[in-house]
Structure 1
Amino acid sequence: MPSLNDEDQSSITVRPDDHVALIVIVALVGLVWSLFMLGIRIYLRLRLTPPFGVDDAVAIFGTIIGLVQTSVTLHAAFQGVGKREDSLAPAHVENGLKSIYVAWVLYPIAVCSSKVSLALLIARLTIVKFELRASYVLAGVGIFWGVVSVIVAACQCKMPKPWDLGAHHCDSMFVRWAVIETGNMIIELLIPGLILKVIWNLQARLKAKFTVLMAFSLQLLVAIPTIFRLILLRQTTVDELRNDRTFTITDTVMVTEITMHFSLMAATFPCLRKFLQAFDSNMGATTHMTTDPDDPKNTGSNGSYGLRSLQRPSRAKGSSFEKWPRNSNRYNRKYQPHTVTTVSAGASDPRGSPEGGGRLQRQRTRNNDMESGSVESDDSQLAIIRRTQHWEVTVESRGN
């Protein structure tokens, strides 16, 4: 049989009997995007949302495995995987199939690492003991299934040549991979279920809850290439295709790369919103969410507010009322506690003097303002408590 010459190795073109270029393009594009998403995650942890956590370490580990897996796949492509087997030397066919075997053993490690990273990220977002335990249990299940998947993938075909996809001793390969991918999809379904439990009782807008749920649910889309991968694996066991192994598995190799790299990217999807906020110029007011509640010109996106101190406003010496910001209004004091203090001196009628009338008017304004703002607790599940304190000061003259 003719072997690969220097011209064949130096040029990569797509021909009806040569799809090596497609494998190279898919593998490199997927790798670039995985590394790009990992770079975003590292930037977030170092600059915007520290500290660096275990979930980030697992994501880095999975991306490194994905890098090694892609490198092995590219080596298989340059050995001849993607070309007609009758145009390759037997040594190249053997080396190419061995490289694909190693790449497919590394594949479940990268995929399960992304799921473990998501589970640990959920644990980082909650303080409820039950949810913490559930997150760690899910991470443990992901690790366990990763180990099982590697063992099953390593035994996809019987010994002594588990990489020989065309032999009859590899008839059970589809069943083994179907078991692996089914377990992966079950774990993928558990992740949105867990995040739904975490956000169910949160005091937040429905839109915000939906956004968080969607960020963790995007990894469910990996089921689409996974199903296609199983279909293509099934086709490789057809007798008519056994004699052209290197060309038959071309589509399966490409879909494997797509599935793995999308899984790795999905581990960072929930972190992207903070990254986009860092580059928001507020021209479109789409992602800028941090707002000072005391500034009437800055009400935030969709009425959201940034975290602020719960310390009460200071009281001036000798003043009967707490000092409120001069430009505050009922929208700016939303979700904030109010204390209204009424001080009356002796038996004097506040309505009879301008000062008393003004003081009473200010009191009514604050009372009305507080009541009108209290009813606007969107999605709040806590009771709203209003307390009004009345003080009466009586001045008695001493007898001489």
Structure 2
Amino acid sequence: MRKNVIPYGKQDINQQDIDSVLEVLKSDFLTQGPKVPEFEKAIRTHTGAKYALAMNSATSALHVACLALGLGEGDSLWTSPITFVASANCGLYCGAEVDFVDIDPRTYNMCPIKLEQKLIAAKANGTLPKVVVPVHLCGQPCDMKAISALAKEYGFKVIEDASHAIGGRYHDEPIGNCVHSDITVFSFHPVKIVTTAEGGAAVTNNKILADKMSLLRSHGVTRDSEQMVGESHGGWYYQQIDLGFNYRMTELQAALGVTQMQRLSGFIKARHHLANRYYEKLSNLPLLLPYQLENTYSGLHLYVIRLKLEEIDLSHREVFDALRNNGIGVNLHYIPVHTQPYYQALGHREGDFPDSEQYYKEAISLPMFHAMTDQQQDEVIRVLTDILVKVS
């Protein structure tokens, strides 16, 4: 009989979380009530951003963030190839073209040097992006000062995809304060640092952007008489003044988010404990361990190793399969977006972003979740060591 699998990620739900959701189920509000604004307040308090808008997913938040910034047909969005497809798809949803900037091979995030080189070329041929989406992969912050400086010089808007990064810090400031971006987006999927089952949020310091995203997440409908065309007909009256979507978060999700946010610092502390043990116990294996950019503190959503394949006799796939076959639920984050068939049909080709493609050939995400015990982690380390030492 096969042993229990140690997953690469897992939510941590306690009795307080359950009681909070049950309280909502017994209340008068299941969709839009007091818990959504309470959750939004918790996000504002943590990040220091002026406005927070909870939504049903980070994908939805990325979409309305792009629309709020005016992205549309004839425009382009640039992001990292090493991300989930949503970071790129949000541009296509708006009718824009999507392109990519290769990663820094140390941090696995968008490389500011390569971004600048691409911007210089784009300026020369009149194809500068309207929006750039740096992705804080694994919870590691991008070099946002450098990206922000380029945004000012070349006139593009910045959306931080911080789906992995709530609880992290950049230059001792919380990720999500939007000091170096127009909008930051978080994810609250079950394997993320904080969960609302499914859910996301967009934060900003710009009231115009916040109002626009608020309108777009709820059908483009308003009850605010100041936004209406003509006079209100009465207390029942609303108007659709834009083409929006049903991207709202429910009270049930928000209630879970409120109690999860109360444990955020503990979640991050637990992840750093695990990361420190990985660093200590894996340092002698033929692996490249995660690099930490100076003046940053990772949220550590993921712990990604890279195999030194030239030092072992197994392929990337063979190591991956051996781990899974021994009950270690590893994963790979991510397949470079530009190599996906859909994006290849749009003209992207393998070879376009070599550092991203090399990363993909070597990367494996090891288990990393709040409630992971030292004993579970020791088992991951034992199995990985047995696989690599026997073939090295």
* TM-score under structure 2 length normalisation: 0.24
Q: Which has the higher contact order (CA 8 A, sep 6+)?
A: 2
The structure in which a higher percent of residues are strand is: 2
The structure in which a higher percent of residues are helix is: 1
Larger radius of gyration: 1
